[in-house]
Amino acid sequence: MKISIIGSGYVGLVTGACLANFGLSVTCVDNDEHKINLLNNEKIPIYEPNLEDLIVKNVKENRLKFTTDTKKTIQESQVIYIAVGTPPNNDGSARLHQVEGVAKDIGKYINDYKVIVNKCTVPVGTARKIKQIINSYSSSPLKEDPSHTPSNSRRDSSNISSPLRGEGRVRVNHPFDIISNPEFLREGSAVYDFTHPDKIVIGYESEKAKKIMQEIYRPLYLLDTPFLFTNLETAEMIKYACNAFLATKITFINEIANLCDRVDADVHHIAKAMGMDGRISPKFLHPGPGYGGSCFPKDTRALHAIANNYNYDFKLLKAVIEVNSRQRQMVVDKMTQEMRTLKNKKIGVLGLAFKQNTDDVRESAAIDVIKILLQKGAIIQCFDPMAMENAKKILPEIIYCQDEYETAKDADALLILTEWDQFRNLELNKVKKQMKWHEYGLIFTPFIFDMKNLYEPEKVKEYGYKYYGIGRN
């Protein structure tokens, strides 16, 4: 079975590499020639733990290839995955021009039966839209119209439709099936998530396509992975529902943390107690500056736009989106309250990626907080183990440092915004010597604003810091 993955971004590369590692023949396609050249030279354009080793291994074993030749790859593949971007429109709805472009290409080049698997996060109804586009563009070499033959003899035309009159020729539509197979990959652990998923969701219409998908994912059956087979619309909705609920959990614990700051309660103890309840679970109950990345912000807004399109007032989701945006400002408000002014203050920022183990800065809370600090007149120097090159494209005006300790040098305050493991065990005495000290009441002390709650407040205070977390004061 030959498989093609159209789109060699984050989802496409992980999907392609993992399927190849299942023993399948996979070709990843992208119209970005530079990206394909990098991949063909064993250079990976994104950072994701374990992905590079997986790609190199399967390229060497000739199961994984990269190309820009869309036509050839479509025609040689039995199964075609669509894994392109769905960036937001101004109203928050998902922009589908890339998905539609792939559907048009499939329609143009389809030459026999194909299974089209949509991996993108898309609005309900997109699978049927893809099907419609492929049908409207699909054709094989045009055949003569039987009505124009001299003998007017009858021919088998069961697979012929859409006559092109006046030419004596007709368009031939090839059979295909659509599958909706949403991804649930977490950046930073995507390879593990693909090979050890908590579920596989497959929206389908035909038993033939269902059996082909079961064969592709057969290695996961051996791990007793739960499979959910449903219709196309339900599969599309599942992805949005999952991400929106997780975003809601993050937002809820942030609201509890903000309230804890006012009532002298400890959000860590509260989150731990909540997580002990089997109905709630401890996952995603970690307060911070708000969710970010390529999925949660985009998907919550897209689901809200879907609700608006169907004249439904999704009040809870609207509140989640608004509160998450406000959480960035609350970080800066906390700093302003304690430092009195941020103008001309040098702030050392640890963390730029939206989470650890990725170089992704898309809609990162850290980037948003830095932008607000710059508006307040602060001077920013920062460090992130993986994301600085991507951040430079957005924030070229700030200072980029070599490590955590250079970031602390002469800083009026240290601000932690990403939960990288190496930030959890800073040499606090060394950091303190690097920083500026400020008068606080009758003592002089450096400021640490730990917006990921990586440290125990009392321990940090023993080193002579004025420490601020979220919901831990």
Cα–Cα distance, 140 to 163 (Å, whole number): 13
User: Measured at the alpha carbon of residue 285, what is the angle toward residues 283 and 289, in degrees to the nearest 5?
Assistant: 130
Residue 171 has pLDDT above 70, yes or no: no
Helix axes 315-339, 365-375, angle to 10 degrees: 50
Fold exhibited by the domain 264-468: Rossmann fold (3.40.50)
Mean pLDDT of the chain: 91
For residue 200, the SS3 value is strand
Domains in the chain: boundaries: 2-138+174-230, 264-468
pLDDT at 5: 98
pLDDT band at 1, cuts 50/70/90? confident
The pLDDT tens digits of the residues spanning 38-86 come to 999 999 999 999 999 999 999 999 999 999 999 999 999 999 999 999 9
Of the candidate CATH numbers 3.40.50.720, 3.10.20.30, 3.30.365.10, 3.10.129.10, the domain formed by 2-138+174-230 belongs to 3.40.50.720
Per-residue pLDDT tens over the stretch 361-404? 999 999 999 999 999 999 999 999 999 999 999 999 999 999 99
Which position among 18, 120, 295, 401 bears the catalytic label?
Answer: 295
Percentage of residues in the chain having pLDDT higher than 90? 88
Q: How far apart are CA 229 and CA 154, in angstroms?
A: 42
pLDDT for 153 equals 37
Q: Which of 136-140, 234-238, 437-441 has the lowest mean pLDDT?
A: 437-441
Whether 264-468 and 2-138+174-230 are alike in CATH topology: the answer is: yes
Alpha helix positions (H), 313-471: 315-339, 365-375, 388-394, 404-408, 428-434, 457-462
Q: Is 295 tagged catalytic?
A: yes
176, containing H or E segment: strand 176-180
Tell me the torsion sign for CA atoms 62, 66, 72, 77.
positive
Per-position b or e across 345-381, b if 16+ CB within 10 A of its CB: bbbbbbbbbbbbbbbbbbbbbbbbbbebbbeeebbbb
At 156, the pLDDT band (50, 70, 90 cuts) reads: very low
3-class SS of residue 84: coil
Residues 438-462 have a mean pLDDT of: 85
Task: Pull the structure tokens for residue 206.
Answer: 């035909």
Instruction: Check whether 445 has a pLDDT greater than 90.
Output: no
